[in-house]
Structure 1
Amino acid sequence: MTAHIPSDDAVRNLLRRMFDAAVASADPLKTVAQNLPSKPEGRCVVIGAGKASAAMAGAVDAAWPDVDLSGVIVTRYGHAVPAGRIRILEAAHPVPDAMSLEAGRTLEEAVQGLTDKDLVIALFSGGGSSLLVAPAGAMSLADKQAVNKALLHSGATIREMNAVRKHLSRLKGGRLALAAQPAKLVTLVISDVPGDDPSDIASGPTVADLSTLQSVREIIARRRIDLPQSAQQFLKENVETPKLGDITGDVRIIAAPALALDAAARVGKEWGLQTLILGDALEGEAREMGTVLGGIARSAKHRGQPIKGPAVILSGGEATVTIGAGSAGRGGRNTEFLLGLAVALEGQDGIWAIAGDTDGIDGTEDAAGAIITPDTLARGTQAGMDAKACLAAHDSYSFFERLGDLLKTGPTLTNVNDFRALVIV
């Protein structure tokens, strides 16, 4: 990169190239084919759930045309792609619907009656928790929907939410693995969670659960999560999820946030930037994360610490947005992070940023995220938008929509969590 200040368009293009590189690193067509096990003597049944699961299933079908193969996958509405011999269902995210319930029943049936010569390939990615529903005890679909809504508004981390979900399901937390016995089980996972723990991804239907009833009760109390009576009653029955030793199977992480950040860093280096990866597992309140990263970026700009520009600071993970009891506008954790970052930077020159969910959907909106520039606040004022007021109202989508700075990709058919990049020149 030359010493002069690059144009706004040039930096915007660079930010988009880094985001696209991060997404491409988790392409299911490549990563699944590279991680398939040996072919079985008997049948192969493919099951799975998540935003990337249909594309993952298509890769298995294409790689094994000579295998007796069948199965069923559930993905989010709008994320379905043809998968040959494997049936694709679509259901709702982030709050389950009737098709989520149908998916749970259908996957459970698909693994019945198998032998030790058969193979089950389980394909899971982010989003699977709401797409695959099998209420435990006397819980109804409405009860599960109420649980999900309460979790999403509680400020709980993704790990805490999944711990609760696992203990309120007939299939999650390793219970689907028990249903598939005695078939051989191989689980392929595209990680979207901090730390890449496969038991957290889609709430781990085929993976031993490390959380406990005691930890779930503590989460519910600390986060003040109001559960339906049927859910409270089931948790009192002391039914624990399968633990290590209860399940046999091979679990393979085939794509992860750290690999996505490495791919983006290579693009930054090609542009002549120093690169700093803060980590792939940053968590916390989205707007507060914006304040913290804003402080780091300003320090890099003025003091050359912790990195001297021109540079890019990369991070991944999953922030949270705590709505509370009040009403909220439109937005997701990535646009809220960016609006918090813009407010913290106060129009600082020479700093740009992008943040987006690698699945292409930030929260429930039609954008993956957005981009901020040194003049974001000034352009917002000119457009009649008060950044601080929008932040207080959780209305970040509306702010960036008015400025034309939303990042819209459509469903990417993969998911390795949130991606953030700050460029300092």
Structure 2
Amino acid sequence: MFATDASDATAALLSAKRPSDYRHPTEARALLRDLFDTAVAAVSASHCLPPHLPQPPKGRTVVIGAGKAAAAMAQAVESHWQGELSGLVVTRYGHGAPCRRIEVVEAAHPVPDAAGQQAAQRMVELVQDLTADDLVLCLISGGGSALLAAPAPGLTLADKQAVNKALLRSGASIGEMNCVRKHLSALKGGRLALACAPARVETLLISDIPGDDPTLIASGPTLPDATTCADALAVIAKYGIEVPDAVRAHLESGAGETPKPGDARFAGHRSVTLASAQQSLEAAAARARELGLTPHILSDSIEGEARDVAEVHAAIARQIVAHGQPFQKPCVILSGGETTVTVRGNGRGGRNAEFLLALAVALDGLPGVHALAGDTDGIDGSEDNAGALLSPDTLTRAAAQGASARAHLDNNDGYGFFAALDDLIVTGPTRTNVNDFRAILIV
């Protein structure tokens, strides 16, 4: 699996005197991996969190949080906090970080488990009996919806697991999924903040949401929610999702309604978005300029089916190669956001691998076009890779092994396709999360 060390990649890049040198697959891959590593580093908790820490309160400070970056965020708080500190955060298995005063619990993602449910209950217990002089510092990042598993009264963990699995396979956007999740939870959609009363709540966020709406990040546990139970039912109907009877009854009765914007109970609270896809793309663009290439950021919030997004990117690449429009080569096209995959096959996938596989089919070996797609959290879907790499010779190498890109795409098996070519990117958990990063090099 392709896992070039960052220092090796940099050395290879510096040895290339002209942009045309990036035509060689080794140089192109080193460049793309360097851009990915730069993008991830720019949105790490250690880099972006310390400048936004609030002043210590008169009373106690309790830290709570959930998400793939929660442990790294807790570690950054501990390293820079002056004064008394305690708390608990929950993160995905394998995404923990060593902390001394803040307990780190690991739980399942993307489908919640009992460990996440127990951690959520313990968080609620930690914020009981606080006063107006106390501060609750809430550390929230992508993945928190599954990790902060607290079923609403009358629902069970099994109910939430069933709905989560169906949503993940449906092709629903992250906003649609989180709309449903909010109305099935005892803590999401602002309810966690209400549990902290009368303490002041400061929420620090790392955004995995296209457009960076803070109320959608981890389903907004400390922020009021403008969506309704009727909206959640509309999402379920739109995608034909079968839900347990208890879930439907809960939504139809209005029992799952969330506190709304303007609710006086949120007065005095504050939220700050520390890191976003745009920051990661800007960092990669600056790095590309250092390396002699012109970057173009298409968007930080692209959504839609991964294979459809790939076809649009391929069309842009072909236009550049054939006509020098809308950009002149050599250049790097950058984009972020969160695509979706409607699962129809039984292969091993991931939305970034699916994007690249569809891109390979659409480009059909177009010379001079190389690409990388990866998830900034280091995990593409539920696999062990962050993403993969694509070269002009990808289809040729696959054909030599008897593999059909189209067949793998039909089976949602991007992971299997790129694993056989040794083109997966394996970083391990990065402990941050601003969703997809895509870079297409055209030379």
TM range (shorter): over 0.9
Runs of 4+ in 1 over 4 A off after TM superposition: none
Residue 61 of structure 1 aligns with which residue? 78
Residue 137 of structure 2 aligns with which residue? 121
- Output the CA distance in 2 between the equivalents of 1:60 and 1:417: 23
1:144–1:4: structure 2 CA closer, same or farther, 3 Å change rule? Answer: closer
Shift of 1:100: 1.2
For residue 439 of structure 2, the aligned residue among 415, 418, 421 is 421
Shift of 1:110: 1.3
- Output the CA distance in 2 between the equivalents of 1:220 and 1:270: 47
Residues 1:50 and 2:67 are matched in the alignment:
yes
1:248-275 CA-to-partner distances (Å, cap 9, x unmatched) read 3101000000000000001111122122
For residue 430 of structure 2, the aligned residue among 406, 412, 415 is 412
Residue 146 of structure 2 aligns with which residue? 130
- Output the CA distance in 2 between the equivalents of 1:91 and 1:77: 5
- Output the CA distance in 2 between the equivalents of 1:193 and 1:12: 28
Are the equivalent residues in 2 in contact too, given 1:71–1:110 (CA < 8 A)?
yes
1:350-376 CA-to-partner distances (Å, cap 9, x unmatched) read 000000000000011000000000100
RMSD: 1.0
- Output the CA distance in 1 between the equivalents of 2:21 and 2:117: 54
Residue 302 of structure 2 aligns with which residue? 282
- Output the CA distance in 1 between the equivalents of 2:301 and 2:59: 40
Secondary structure of the structure 2 residue equivalent to 1:106: helix
Are the equivalent residues in 2 in contact too, given 1:45–1:71 (CA < 8 A)?
yes
- Output the CA distance in 2 between the equivalents of 1:4 and 1:348: 16
- Output the CA distance in 1 between the equivalents of 2:326 and 2:106: 45
- Output the CA distance in 1 between the equivalents of 2:289 and 2:47: 24
For residue 360 of structure 1, the aligned residue among 378, 381, 384 is 378
- Output the CA distance in 2 between the equivalents of 1:414 and 1:305: 35
Are the equivalent residues in 2 in contact too, given 1:59–1:83 (CA < 8 A)?
no
For residue 39 of structure 2, the aligned residue among 1, 11, 22 is 22
Are the equivalent residues in 1 in contact too, given 2:134–2:200 (CA < 8 A)?
yes
- Output the CA distance in 2 between the equivalents of 1:97 and 1:265: 39
Shift of 1:5: 4.6
Shift of 1:214: 2.2
Residue 145 of structure 1 aligns with which residue? 161
Are the equivalent residues in 1 in contact too, given 2:35–2:288 (CA < 8 A)?
yes
1:127 is matched by which residue type in structure 2?
G
For 1:14-413, what aligned pairs fall within 5 Å after superposition?
14-64=31-81, 66-239=82-255, 240-246=257-263, 247-248=266-267, 249-324=269-344, 327-413=345-431
Q: Which runs of 5+ in 1 are unaligned?
A: none
Are the equivalent residues in 2 in contact too, given 1:359–1:368 (CA < 8 A)?
yes
- Output the CA distance in 1 between the equivalents of 2:284 and 2:61: 36
Q: Which runs of 5+ in 2 are unaligned?
A: 1-16
- Output the CA distance in 1 between the equivalents of 2:34 and 2:182: 37
Shift of 1:161: 0.1
TM-score (norm 2): 0.94
- Output the CA distance in 1 between the equivalents of 2:184 and 2:33: 40
Figure out how many residues of one structure are paired with residues of the other and give that number. 422
Are the equivalent residues in 2 in contact too, given 1:43–1:67 (CA < 8 A)?
no
Secondary structure of the structure 2 residue equivalent to 1:422: strand
2:385 is matched by which residue type in structure 1?
A
- Output the CA distance in 2 between the equivalents of 1:321 and 1:122: 31
Secondary structure of the structure 2 residue equivalent to 1:279: strand
- Output the CA distance in 2 between the equivalents of 1:70 and 1:99: 20
- Output the CA distance in 2 between the equivalents of 1:297 and 1:109: 54
Shift of 1:38: 1.1
2:426 is matched by which residue type in structure 1?
K
- Output the CA distance in 1 between the equivalents of 2:321 and 2:292: 16
TM-score (norm 1): 0.98
- Output the CA distance in 2 between the equivalents of 1:379 and 1:279: 31
Are the equivalent residues in 2 in contact too, given 1:42–1:68 (CA < 8 A)?
no
Are the equivalent residues in 2 in contact too, given 1:360–1:409 (CA < 8 A)?
yes
